[in-house]
Amino acid sequence: MALLDTLIDRLLLKFAPGGEYESRWLRARFRRRHDLDIGLYSYGCFDRWRFPPGTTVGRYCSIAKSVRVVEADHPLDALTTHPFLYDPRFGLAGQSRLPVNRQVIEDDVWIGHNAIILPGCTRVGRGAAIAAGAIVRADVPRYAVMAGVPAKVVRFRFPPETIEAIEATRWWTLDKATLARGLAAVPEFAWRPDPESADRFHRAVHGRPLPAA
C-alpha cells in the first residue's frame, strides 16, 4: 500500500494541474494522507519519505530534491538502538516510544542539496537559507544563512531594519498575481529590499503605508 501511495504521489506531481507549485488539490491530498502541510508555491517537499508526518512547510519555499527532514533519533540510552525496541510494527514494543516531533519550515526558506534537518531543529525561520550539505541540529533564526557540519549562522540576509520592514509587508501571504503586481510597481523591492522600498511595495499592494512596528 505504501509503495502504491508513493507511485500515485509521483504521478500526481507530474500531471496534477498546477503541479507542486500551485495545486491546492495536491496539497489537500498530502495533508489528508501523509499529515504533511505544504504551503502554496513551495516545491521540492512533496515526498512522504523525506518529510515525515507532522511536518509543516510554509509558502514560497525552495527545497532541493535531496533534502531530508529527520523526525527522531535512535535511542542512545536504551538497551539497543534497533527499532525492535521502539517500533510496534515489529511486535516487541507495545506502543511507539519515539518522541513526537512536529517540525516547522516557515515561509520563503531555501534549503540546498543534501542538507539534513535533524530532530533538534523544530523550526526553520522565515527567509532562512541553508547551504548544500549542511547538518542542522538546532532551530534556525529568521533570515539566517546557515552552513557547515553542524550548521552555524554565517550571516543574516539583511540588516535588522530591513528584516523588520520585510516582515511588516507580509508579502508571502499574497497570491502570485498580487505579488507580481506589487513587484512590477516597485522592482527594487524584489532585488534590493530596504525599508523605503518595502513601504512603497506595501502602498502599491494595499494602498496604505507599512504599519508601525
> Catalytic amino acids?
74
Q: Is 180 left (phi over 0), alpha (psi -120 to 50) or beta?
A: alpha
Residue 60's DSSP bridge partners are none
| Cell of residue 84, nine digits | 525492535
CB-count burial class (<10 Å; 0-12, 13-18, 19+) for 85 = middle
Q: Give the burial string for 156-183 (b: 16+ CB within 10 Å, else e).
A: bbbeeebbebbbbbebbebeeeebeebb
- Residue 199 and residue 165: Cα distance in Å, rounded? 8
For residue 82, the tally of other CB atoms under 10 A from its CB is 13
Q: How far apart are the first and last CA of the chain?
A: 51
